[in-house]
Every structure is written in C-alpha cells, then in structure tokens.
Structure 1
Amino acid sequence: MIRQFSISAAVAALIAGTASVASANEKVTFGTNWLAEPEHGGYYQAVADGTYAACGLDVTIMQGGPQVSGRPMLLAGKIDFYMGGNLLSAFDAVQQNIPMKVVAADFQKEPQVLLSHPGEGLDKFEDLKNAEQYIVGDEGAQTFLLWLAADHGFDVSKRVPYTFNPAPFIANKKSIQQGYVTSEPFAVEKQGGFKPNVFLLADNGFSTYATTIETMQDTIDKRPEVVKCFVEGSAKGWYNYLYGDNKAANELIKKDNPDMTDEQIAFSIKQLKDYGIADSGDTEKLGIGAMTDARIQDFYDKMVRAKVVPAGIDIKKAYTLDFVNKGVGLELKK
C-alpha cells in the first residue's frame, strides 16, 4: 500500500521558510512526455533565464517522444520529475500501489479539443454528437470519448481511429476530429485551407488538470526543498514564458526539436493564452500550478461515471497540495 504522506513540523518549516533553497547546483532531470514544443515552454524558460538555478537546481530537460518511456524512468529513479498528461495516470498509480504523486498542475485546462467543419451543422458543442464520424485515437477512445458518451450522449460506435493525419477529417465535412488546441487547428488550416471550429473539452466539463508534475513519494520525503524549488521555478517559468521575453526558451525548444517552426511556436503560445490553458480560474489568486481537492474530486467522479476508472480509489494518495497554491509568480504577470 502507498503510505499517506504527512509533512513533519520540521519539513513544513523547511518548505515555508527561507532555508528552503535546494543544495547549490543539485542536478535534477525532468522528463517531458513529448518532443520539445511550446506546450513545454515554461520549463525551458526556467532553464534559459536561470530561475531554477536561482534556487539551487541544475535542471536537465529530457524530451519525450514516440520512442521514449519517461514514466518507467521516473519509477526506476532514473529521472526526478515527469510531466504527466492528465490526472488519469495518477489515479492509475494509486490503483497499482505505485508511490507517485502529482505535486503541481501547470495546465488548468487540458488542451484536448474537438474540431468540426464550419457551416455543416456542427457549429455548437451540442451538435458534435451528430457527426458522421468521430476521428479519435486509441487513448482518447478509452478516456474522453467514454466521458462524452456518458455526459453528452455521443455514440462511441461512430469512432474511427485517428492516425495523427488531418487528411480524413479535411475530406469528410461531416466528421469531427480530436486534437490539441495548440497544434491540430494550425495543421488543418495549413493543409485544408480553412479555419475549423474548435471546442475545448475543458470548457465543456472535462475537468482534469494537465501537464502535471509527477514525482516519487521518496523524493517528497527526502528532498522537499528540491520539489519546492522545481515546482515554484516552473510556475515562474510559465509566467515569464507567457508574458515576458521567451526568445531564449524558444531557441532551446528548437534546438531539442529542429522541426519546430517559429510560426508554429507563435500559434501555440497565442492559443495557450487565448484559451487560458495555463493561467485561468484558480491561478488568478493561487498562481500557476494550482490544484484543489474539489476539482480533482469532480474529475474523478466524472471518470467513475464514464467507467474510465473504478469507484473506490483513494484519490488523496494521487497528489499533494503542499507545494502549490501560494501565489508564486503572480507578480511576474504583465
């Protein structure tokens, strides 16, 4: 069983006080879950502008990709922090008695969207269930599509696989397609010559946090000052990336992922800001990275109703609020 984590008085004082600076130049590796992109911009920003270094961390970003399995490396102790997609992986860890916790949620909204063709009777979210085809990947079919069926009346039998090629969607005007708000709308406009309707699932009830920071319970227990520095440095990085000079961070992103273009970067950053992906709702008072018990419970209840996860999981074992909700970085927002 996973041990419930209760910070001792001494550790709590360490986290709260000025003595919380991590050991100078302590090396830390953060694994992302995909190739370098603006959706990782806050972390690259905190490396580029010295925010992590200012509290004593020497952070290496290990980019993910189709051939990289970052979470097993976290479980094996090969990396210190991992970028989770959403809360479902944390719920799964509890089920499997894996002592991993989410310590921050740098996206208040998962960037997952559904796209439709304008002027085809699919211009409102409630119309989308009437599409001829739902072009959705395997993971989506097992998660958010089940929620769409349970809460919004979608017909899962209409699903066809998404192969990360927008051509089938472009060709079928009566179809809908999954995507990320930061990428697929851009690809469709480039390849199809039109702007698709964009529906953010988060704005229609899919209440998970996303781009979470995951770490092992042992790291929390033994190195709380490192967790604090990384969580707070990441929050400041996101503020500086979204609202400050992000040129150096974008150069690092392009260095890691040479296929990333300036046009795509500009589009993605605009979408992140326009849709309030990282900075909206609770972050306005609590700061980027914010999480609440009520929000996590709400998402869990929806996933149980949709039969994505079983009832009875002790979701309090999936996360801790000890390192967030302190308003860190709010002064950096311009």
Structure 2
Amino acid sequence: MTQLSRRAFTAAALGGLASAALLPGRAAQAATSRLALQAIWVNDPEFNGYYIAMEDGYYAAEGLEIDYIPGGPDVIPQAALLTGKADVALTSPPETAEAIFGKGAPFKVIGAQFQKSPDAVIFLEDSGIRTLKDLEGRTVACPPLNTELFRILLKHDKIDADKIKIVPYTFDPTPLVLGEVDAIVDFMTSMPYVIGQAAHKKADYILFSDAGLVYGQNLVCVTEETLAKRRADLVGFLRASRKGWETEFQAPGQAALHWQDSWFKGNGYTPDMTAFHSKIQVDLIKAKGGVFSMSDSWIAKTLETLNAVGIPATPEMFDTSLLRDL
C-alpha cells in the first residue's frame, strides 16, 4: 500500500511550496508595510484562514503586505524569528517555552490559533479502544519528541505506562493499518482520514486536551523587539487573520478547493481530504473570545502542562494586550 502520513505525503512538495510563497494574489498592491509570516508546516488546510486573509484583501485593508513562508519537517519557526527571516512565526508550546525559559530567547506569544492541540491517540474504531485505559496491554507508536508528553498524559489519567508498549513512530501509519501496533500518536486533523482510506476501516481518536492535558498549537510568536516596534502592524495582522478564519468557518474547506494549483500544489491532498481536515479543525480553533484568544484559564492550563513536562514556564511568555485591541 502507499505509505501516507502528515509528513510523508508532503515531504516531496517542499521545494515547490517554498517557491509558491510568492505566487500572485498573495499580497495586495495597496499594502504599505511588509510582514513576514513563518508557518510551522507545509501548506495544507491548517493555514486556510491566513490564505483567505491574503487573497481576500484583509491584510491589505490593515496596510499590510504578507510574505508567507511555508514550514516543513526541517523548519524551526523560532529560528526564523531569531535570524530576522520572519516577523511572526506559528510555533508549538513546548518548543517555544523551552526557547524562552531554557535558552533565554526574547519571544512573546500574542495569540493561539488552536485552542486545543490536534495531538491525539489515533486507533481503528473496531480495535475496542474507547478510553486511554484501554491502551493497557497494547502497543502504541509515539514520536520520540512526544513520548514524555504522552507519559505525562497517562500519569494524569492514572494509567500505568509500564503496561503499555511504547515504540517509536516516524509519522507513517502503515504499522497501525497492518495491525503491527494498536494506536499511534499524531495530529487528528488528517491522519484518521489517511488511515481510513488505507485500511478501509474507520479510525477514531482521543485528543490529549480532552483527556486532561490542555495546550494549544500554532502559537503566534514574535520577538520582544518586533512587539515593541511594530505593535500596530501586529494588531492588524491578528485582526485580519481572525477575519480570514471567520470567513473560513462559514464554509470550511470551500475556498481551499480552488487552491490545488496554488497553495496546495503538490501537497498530496485530495478534495475529500481537504474537506475532512478543514471541517474537523474548526472546533479546535474557535474560541469564545474569538480566534487567537488566550483566556486566563487557558493560559493556566497550558502552563500546567508545560510545567508537567519539566519546562518552568510562567505567564510572562504570553502577552494578551494586543488581543484586547482587535
């Protein structure tokens, strides 16, 4: 069978996507201030709201011209901030917190795209797995970088990790499809669809956040210098991006159907897969206070998770003041 994964089916497209960042129509001529945005991953529905904001002129209305830089498996978004390649980067909580509190990086988080991270335990529906407790006596494939977080999740839910065989996962779901493992740890935004197509069986999942380990994803991260010098531009970026996501929520994935030869060129997504990803992520992104919101309770829970994995993160890594100006 074809081996597909969040990383595998996109890796070959990286070269083309890098050049695609400058496709026509991604910045309005009337824009007056350039802002470089570094994505955390290659072009896929995870970033639909930003694409819409570029194509529909929402950034231009804020006086901004966006230079969009795709991410990938070898891209470290935080590094793009430190080198000056990007003004804004979408980052993950552990890596961002480790950079700030472990290495002294001058970063501030000014918003969170995902209120709930797509990180999940994914399995076939007919496996009999319904709760994390059902993983005992089974084999779970987990990315090495996520193993500690997965063990913290198990401990939180009072599950004996020693009763679970945890093996390395390389973002290839083939072992799950073939029955060599019982579950995998990956993003649930696309992987259940990929597995379902390959195994001809429905896949299900348990979100880390729903199981008690709350944290977001795609943090909107900037340097303290950029925050101080370009506050108005950053407020405009957040406002336009929020509008892009609100437009996306009205018909999830519809705009993306027209991007097969532009944003999504070569990324391996079929129209059905695009629709699946676009729809399933909506509830992970929506927030009571609007897209990018970071409530006091959300920050507290995120810090609790980061502290649990040994990162001494504090509320100082977050700056919610820009959100109040939207």
Superposition map of 1:197-212 within 5 A: 197-212=204-219
Q: Among 23, 27, 38, which residue is 1:31 paired with?
A: 38
Cα shift at 1:201: 1.5
4+ residue stretches of structure 1 with deviation over 6 A? none
Please give the alpha-carbon distance, in whole angstroms, between the structure 2 residues aligned to 1:221 and 1:185. 42
Amino acid at match of 2:275: A
Does the CA contact (< 8 Å) of 1:94 and 1:317 recur in 2? no
Does the CA contact (< 8 Å) of 2:119 and 2:207 recur in 1? yes
Q: Does 1:322 align with 2:321?
A: yes
Does the CA contact (< 8 Å) of 1:24 and 1:57 recur in 2? yes
Amino acid at match of 2:321: D
Superposition map of 1:42-61 within 5 A: 42-61=49-68
| Change in 2 beyond 3 A, CA 1:58/1:264 | same
Q: Does 1:309 align with 2:310?
A: yes
Question: What corresponds to 1:268 in structure 2?
Answer: 277
RMSD of equivalent CA atoms: 2.2
Q: Report the more deviating stretch, 193-202 or 145-154.
A: 145-154
Q: Does 1:171 align with 2:185?
A: no
Please give the alpha-carbon distance, in whole angstroms, between the structure 1 residues aligned to 2:116 and 2:128. 27
Please give the alpha-carbon distance, in whole angstroms, between the structure 1 residues aligned to 2:257 and 2:220. 21
Q: TM-score, normalised by structure 2?
A: 0.83
Q: TM-score, normalised by structure 1?
A: 0.81
Q: What is the SS of the residue equivalent to 1:46?
A: helix
Does the CA contact (< 8 Å) of 2:153 and 2:208 recur in 1? no
Does the CA contact (< 8 Å) of 1:114 and 1:198 recur in 2? yes
Cα shift at 1:209: 1.6
Please give the alpha-carbon distance, in whole angstroms, between the structure 1 residues aligned to 2:252 and 2:151. 40
| Change in 2 beyond 3 A, CA 1:237/1:154 | farther
Superposition map of 1:1-334 within 5 A: 24-85=31-92, 87-95=93-101, 96-128=103-135, 130-142=136-148, 144-152=149-157, 153-155=159-161, 158-172=165-179, 175-244=182-251, 247-248=254-255, 251-252=258-259, 255-258=262-265, 259-273=268-282, 276-279=283-286, 283-284=287-288, 286-305=289-308, 308-311=309-312, 313=313, 315-324=314-323
Does the CA contact (< 8 Å) of 2:127 and 2:182 recur in 1? no
Q: What is the SS of the residue equivalent to 1:79?
A: coil
Same amino acid, percent of matched pairs: 24
Instruction: Provide Cα deviations, 1:80-130, integer angstroms capped at 9, x if missing partner.
Output: 110112x222321221211111111111110111112334331234323x1
| Change in 2 beyond 3 A, CA 1:131/1:192 | farther
Q: What is the SS of the residue equivalent to 1:52?
A: helix
Does the CA contact (< 8 Å) of 2:81 and 2:222 recur in 1? yes
Instruction: Provide Cα deviations, 1:155-198, integer angstroms capped at 9, x if missing partner.
Output: 16621111222111122276111121211101110100100222
| Change in 2 beyond 3 A, CA 1:248/1:195 | closer
Amino acid at match of 2:38: G
Please give the alpha-carbon distance, in whole angstroms, between the structure 2 residues aligned to 1:250 and 1:154. 44
Give the count of matched residue pairs: 292
Cα shift at 1:325: 5.2
The runs of 5 or more residues in structure 2 that have no matched partner are: 1-29
